Structure 1
């Protein structure tokens, strides 16, 4: 197989039924800023949003989504946080905002899920120091001390087949990628 260049996924664009409401939600409740705005060649208004000064946009919101669609094609928008403490801070904020939050221990990640005003599922997550085969969906209580959460996750992962540390999984995956490109 010919070698393909490495890619880095950086952003998602979604159509919105109420663009102004969605921009305000992602600004005030998720913490993005509007980095640019304009009108696309299709005539749709759009807003570029980011939380990273080195990435022009991590999210693009377009107007023009029809209302009353029978199915939402967006499975989830996932946002990686820097630490378990950051996830806990977002969790507390989500409760203040009145969001219905689902907390999940995936073994390799701690996650919380809620929806935006148009019903798009949002995942806020942080990687754990462990790997376990997916899917894995165990209870999580983000109100507990971080040490308790870490110990519970490690014990759960060690009980499941194929336990690895995150570093071991990264090394194995790096080797798979190397072999794929060779």
Structure 2
């Protein structure tokens, strides 16, 4: 149980209640569930991505987790469903944040060693991001905030001119990181740029 103290919303009819209702929102995102044509291959891919453990598996479902949550991802075994299409409505990608650029780059190195490579490496301005695609065609973003106030970048002239960002060479960024470049240097838009400007 969390030790964080939270205030409970006041019932509208309670003494001292105000006219404005309390704002009640979830305190965390718990898990994602995927429908899979290639369940076992997809589960193995996510185990590598997150260094995750299987907590339950039967003929229909698999649950995995990478922390103290009972499950972070679940996978339905549905081999007869049609494949995901690029022109199908639904989620575009799911993003996960790392604390530092070093953690992000260390994860890139670890995944590259097992053959999992990002299909897109881009500094968006607010974040430095690596995009991966799972065996079912779902996209995953691994990101790190580029500074302590990434939201300010959305209000900048630079963002208005290029709201997508500048692609970078992840291997070159790793070499800079290993050579002792600072987080600010590594996270600067244009560092290790490939010459492509994605806007």
Fold conserved (TM > 0.5)? Answer: yes
Distance in structure 2 (CA, Å) of the matches to 1:100 and 1:81 = 16
Distance in structure 2 (CA, Å) of the matches to 1:115 and 1:15 = 15
TM-fit CA distance, 1:38: 4.8
Partner of 1:67: 82
Q: Within 5 Å, which residues of 2 pair with 1:40-51?
A: 45-51=60-66
Contact 1:18 1:63 survives alignment (8 Å): yes
Contact 2:83 2:136 survives alignment (8 Å): no
Residues 1:150 and 2:184 aligned together: yes
Q: Secondary structure at the match of 2:181?
A: helix
Max Rg structure: 2
Partner of 2:127: 109
Partner of 2:168: 140
Q: Secondary structure at the match of 1:62?
A: strand
Superposed CA offset, 1:56-89 (max 9, x none): 1221111226124444533112222232111101
Which runs of no fewer than 5 residues in structure 1 stay unpaired?
40-44, 157-182
Q: Secondary structure at the match of 1:60?
A: strand
Aligned partner (choices 4, 16, 31) of residue 11 of structure 1: 31
TM-score, normalised with respect to structure 2 = 0.63
TM-score, normalised with respect to structure 1 = 0.68
The CA RMSD over aligned residues, in Å, is: 2.6
Q: Secondary structure at the match of 1:20?
A: helix
Partner of 2:97: 80
The number of residue pairs the alignment matches comes to 150
Q: Secondary structure at the match of 1:147?
A: coil
Higher relative CO (Cα under 8 Å, sequence separation at least 6) belongs to: 1
In 2 relative to 1, CA 153–27 (structure 1 residues): closer, same or farther, beyond 3 Å? closer
